[in-house]
Amino acid sequence: MTRYLLRRFASTVVLLLVMVALIYVIFYALPSNPAVLVCGKGCGGGQLAAIDHKLGLDQPEYLQFWHFLEGIFVGRDYSSGPDVSHCAAPCLGFSFQNDQPVLSLIGQRLPVSLSLTTGAMVVWLLVGVSAGVLSALRAGRLTDRVVTAASVLAYGAPIFVSGMLLLMLFCGYLHWLDFPVYVPLTENPAAWAKNLLLPWFTLAIAQAAVYTRLTRTGMLETLSEDHIRTFRAYGVRERRIVGRHAMRGTLTPIITLSAYDFGYILVGAMLTETLFGLPGLGQLIVQSSNNVDLPVVAGLTLVAGAAIVVANTAADLLYAVVDRRVVLS
Amino acid sequence: MTAELITEVGVSTEAPTRGRQVRRRLLADRMAMAGLVVAGVMIVAALAAPLLIHLEGQDPTTYHPELLDSARGGVPRGAFGGAGGAHWLGVEPTTGRDLFARALGGARISFLVAFGTLIVQILLGVSVGLAAGLGGKVADAFLGRLIDLAISFPQLIFAIALLAIVPGTFPRPILLMIVIGLFGWGGVARLIRGQVLSLRTRDYVAAARLSGAGRVRIALREILPGVSAPLVTYAALLLPSNMISEAGLSFLGVGVRPPDSSWGQMLSTATTWFQADPTYVLVPGLLLLLNVLAFTLLADGVRTALDPKAPSLRGGRK
């Protein structure tokens, strides 16, 4: 186990370093003139030279990469004479368009994305697991077939299409909800939840379908196992068998698997935030990409990539701990 | 020589019966057949787009301000977004461009990018997978890591990043194929590698090796035919996922650019019109939904037909 942990940890670190290098190459080494991209449209020659100097672009490549790494671990200063911009560790870059370190931009947007994703996760686990259990207990009957058809439909629909359809139904046709506007949780919890209802369901729908399938299959498998038959033979009531014993066998691996969904959540949040105009991280990366604010895109890509790599490692470990049948190799 | 004889005999006695069986199972699968019909109609419509648009008598880029109600912010006059004999699916708000023509253009882009990306994914995935499975221990250790890397990277986020730094003059559909393909071959490679590892210990491969066949020959002539069935299934599942990726990137504004049209891009401009002009939202939205569903059902049908014991999207009768 210790050897496995060490090896897994080492490969995660290598993966992260490769990613940092890749992001550096894409954003700072590949573009022919990063200063133009950093500065945005309409920058003159003098300004460009100043930015080159300020960013350290007049130094050799390997030194630049070293400063990039240094920034992540101990922070760095961008200076051109009197004009010094300090970027504290972990420095993910400096957005000259916003005149702010990328990290503080991320900090401002994070609560929105967290509100969206945690709520959506609750929705899809609740909806997915209960629909899956229902479908398994009624296997082959009408309820099962309706749930299955609905899950195929929900699984196939791209997020921005299902979100748009929800928007048209609840906001355009039924007038139950207004077009979502982000209200911070600390300001008004009720308005926060009401405004996020549509985004939560939009992000959750496809994922709920996946969990419906997983729960249904898992439940049917567990119910056909020997220990369940023994419970039945002893006269344990069906409700108790399903609710306690079968649920445990079904849910443990499924909940553990949800750590792998991290990548999906990030991409889904990006699309959902763009659709509803929520000022989160996803909207930030899309806007920065359209404004060619490269340090922001690079910083966000780095954070997202690192988060996914770490989440996947955590999921692997968690899964191995929960299900001892998984061979550690 | 002996090895060739063995495989040839094996193929000639087995393949036709198996092929017929698969076809029969697929034909009996009603959902898959529905998917096939819808997908087929869509592909034909996309291929014949210039003809159909000519038949309608419109084109995708002409502005028709006379069809818009400027008092209501440029909403098309008439019911259903101005749909009728002249404009079969109505016109776009604020510009008055013909929606039928633009939707067909979107279909062309969708298929072009989905199939083009698939080619990139299969070429990259099959070569890396074969090399990892047959190239020996060191190659497998290195390529195995590379495959893990490709799978765990958040592809859409990297795609956005790459699309941001490529100059606008580069043809977008081709760029999309490269970018989505470049981050989406990991699954194919993992599949091929796994298959190769289990196939390479088979007797017929050993026989080929003993009779002096080289590594490349073994890879292409002995192993590759054996992995074709799971590869077909996987490729079929990749198609709808590629369509969603293209639509998603275009929806985010980093994909297909005007004057080309894409369903994703149409949806992103339609967001603000969902109350005033629902037709404008529904045309690209439902087309994309229908198309993705058709290809997903077809792929699921192919999977069950090739391997009836495989877990199906539709659950099977347990």
User: What are chain A's domains?
Assistant: 2-91 (no CATH), 103-322 (1.10.3720.10)
State which of B19-33, B141-155, B212-226, B280-294 shows the largest mean pLDDT.
Answer: B280-294
A261 residue type, one letter: D
B100 residue type, one letter: F
User: Among A241-245, B43-47, B87-91, B233-237, where is mean pLDDT lowest?
Assistant: B87-91
Task: Kindly identify which residue of chain A lies nearest to residue B316, measuring between CA atoms.
Answer: A140
Asked whether the beta carbons of residue B247 and residue A160 sit closer than 8 angstroms, the reply is: yes
Task: Give the pLDDT score at A85.
Answer: 66
Q: Which of A55, A72, A73, A75 is nearest to A64 (CA)?
A: A55
Q: What is the mean pLDDT of residues A182-199?
A: 84
**Does B96 or B143 have the greater pLDDT score?**
B143
Where are the domains positioned within chain B? Answer: 34-306
Structure tokens at B3: 């090895």
Asked whether the beta carbons of residue B161 and residue A15 sit closer than 8 angstroms, the reply is: no
| Residue of B146, B158, B160, B254 for testing the chain A interface, max A β-carbons within 10 Å | B160
Asked whether the beta carbons of residue A263 and residue B268 sit closer than 8 angstroms, the reply is: no
Please, what is the end-to-end C-alpha distance for chain A in angstroms?
A: 10
**Does A131 or A315 have the greater pLDDT score?**
A131
- Nearest by CB to B254, from A23, A164, A289: name it: A289
A327, pLDDT greater than 60:
no
Q: What is the mean pLDDT of residues A267-276?
A: 89
Level-2 CATH architecture, domain B34-306: Orthogonal Bundle (1.10)
Q: Which residues make Cβ contacts (< 8 Å) with residue B112, sequence separation at least 6?
A: B173
Task: Give the pLDDT score at B12.
Answer: 41
| Window B:206-245, CB contacts with A under 8 Å | 240, 244
Q: Is the pTM of this model over 0.90?
A: no
B142 touches chain A (CB under 8 A): no
Q: What is the mean pLDDT of residues A13-32?
A: 76
Quickly state the pLDDT bin for B128 (edges 50, 70, 90).
very high
Q: Give, in order, the Cα–Cα distances in Å from B171 to each of A106, A287, B167, B255.
A: 32, 22, 9, 11
User: Among A269-283, A296-310, B239-253, where is mean pLDDT lowest?
Assistant: A296-310
Task: Give the pLDDT score at B111.
Answer: 92
Q: What are phi and psi of A117, to 5 degrees?
A: -75, -40
B317 touches chain A (CB under 8 A): yes
Quickly state the pLDDT bin for B3 (edges 50, 70, 90).
very low
Where b means 16+ CB within 10 Å and e means fewer, A1-26 reads eeeeeeeeeeebeebbebbbebbbeb
B122, pLDDT greater than 90:
yes
B12 touches chain A (CB under 8 A): no
What is the C-alpha to C-alpha distance for residues A37 and A40, in angstroms, rounded to an integer? 5
Task: Give the pLDDT score at B10.
Answer: 40
What is the C-alpha to C-alpha distance for residues B30 and B7, in angstroms, rounded to an integer? 35
Q: What are phi and psi of A84, to 5 degrees?
A: -115, 125
Residues B269-287 have pLDDT tens digits of: 888 888 778 888 888 889 9
Task: Kindly identify which residue of chain A lies nearest to residue B161, measuring between CA atoms.
Answer: A297
DSSP state for residue A31 in the 8-state scheme? S
Provide, as residue numbers in chain B, all residues whose Cβ is less than 8 Å from the Cβ of A270: 156-157, 160, 252
Q: What is the mean pLDDT of residues B6-33?
A: 66
| Other Cβ atoms closer than 10 A to B252 | 27
Please, what is the end-to-end C-alpha distance for chain B in angstroms?
A: 46
CA distance B86 to chain A (A): 27
Asked whether the beta carbons of residue B253 and residue A286 sit closer than 8 angstroms, the reply is: yes
Residue A210's H or E segment, with its range, is helix A189-223
Asked whether the beta carbons of residue A289 and residue B161 sit closer than 8 angstroms, the reply is: yes
B14, pLDDT greater than 60:
no
Quickly state the pLDDT bin for A302 (edges 50, 70, 90).
confident
The mean pLDDT value of chain B amounts to 80
